[in-house]
Amino acid sequence: MLARCCRLEPVGQQAFRSLEARRLIRRPDKLGRPVFTDRVMSSYRDGLESVVRAASRRSLDCGETGLPLGMRFISAREFASLLPAARAAEPVRLRSDRRFPGSALRAFIASERSLLAEFLRAPSGPRLSEIDYTWAHFPDEPDLSSPDPGFIARARVAALYYDERLRRLESVLDDAF
């Protein structure tokens, strides 16, 4: 591919041409308006829908464009009303004259690292549901009452990764706050 490149045919043009040559199909978007897509993008949407269908109680779609994703669509206004600050008696206002307290960030990081450490010590314990960010991106959904050993092994690798990231963050907190 590089040998065929020149000033008039830079790297990546063939890939662009093949993408451009895909046959477009018309589908209704999540608000019923017609949009154009192709079979590859539709298959990505179908895959996402199959994943979120199982977690439909936890997933909301507040985007106003695109194909339906298999989750409940809500408007931006409705989404804002679900946020805790929007339900408070008085709106929460951030003070620009005050920095975020480093102690609060340190406490949060320590509690997350504690959860990760507990999971790494006893991976089949109840903490798997509390650290769902370690496995939310996996293509399969676990049975949390008795997770598959392969699933636990992958979640352990992810937990080690997140623990290392949090450890690095802790190491620079003293410089930041």
Is 7 a domain residue? no
The pLDDT value given to residue 92: 46
Total domains, the chain: 2
Identify the CA nearest to 128 among candidates 148, 108, 109, 110. Answer: 148
The pLDDT value given to residue 42: 87
Q: Is the pLDDT of residue 64 over 70?
A: yes
Q: Residues 123, 152: one domain? A: yes
Identify the CA nearest to 165 among candidates 133, 140, 139. Answer: 133
Q: Residues 116, 170: one domain? A: yes
Report pTM: 0.46
Q: Locate 19 and state its tokens.
A: 């993408």
Is 57 a domain residue? yes
Is 4 a domain residue? no
Q: Residues 170, 118: one domain? A: yes
Is 19 a domain residue? no
Is 77 a domain residue? yes
Is 97 a domain residue? no
Give 4-61 pLDDT, tens digit per residue: 677 777 776 666 666 667 788 899 988 889 998 888 888 888 888 888 877 666 678 8
Give 85-144 pLDDT, tens digit per residue: 545 445 545 455 556 567 778 888 888 999 999 999 887 655 788 888 888 888 887 788
The pLDDT value given to residue 99: 60
Q: Is 166 exposed, middle or buried (0-12, 13-18, 19+ CB in 10 A)?
A: middle
Out of 84, 112, 131, a domain closes at 84
Q: Residues 116, 54: one domain? A: no
Longest dimension (CA), the chain: 66
Is 14 a domain residue? no
Residue 17 carries which side chain, given as an amino acid letter? R
Is 94 a domain residue? no
The domain in which residue 113 lies consists of: 102-176
Q: Residues 119, 80: one domain? A: no
Which of 90-99, 150-159, 167-176 tops mean pLDDT? Answer: 150-159
